[in-house]
Amino acid sequence: MTHLYFYDFPIGRLGIAETAEKISHVSYGLKLPAQYEKAETPLIRQTAQQLTEYFNGERQEFSVPLCAQGTPFQQSVWKSLTQIPYGKTVSYQDIARAAGNPNACRAAGLANNRNPIAILIPCHRVIGKSGCLTGYAGGLDKKQFLLDLEKSF
Backbone phi and psi for residue 35, each to the nearest 5 degrees, phi listed first: -85, 0
Q: What is the 3-state secondary structure (H, E, C) of 88-113?
A: CCEEHHHHHHHCCCCCCHHHHHHHHH
Neighbours of 50 (CB within 10 A): 19
Sign of CA dihedral 50, 131, 92, 134: positive
- Give the residue numbers annotated as catalytic, written as ranges: 123
CA–CA distance from 38 to each of 34, 44, 69, 72 (Å)? 10, 11, 20, 30
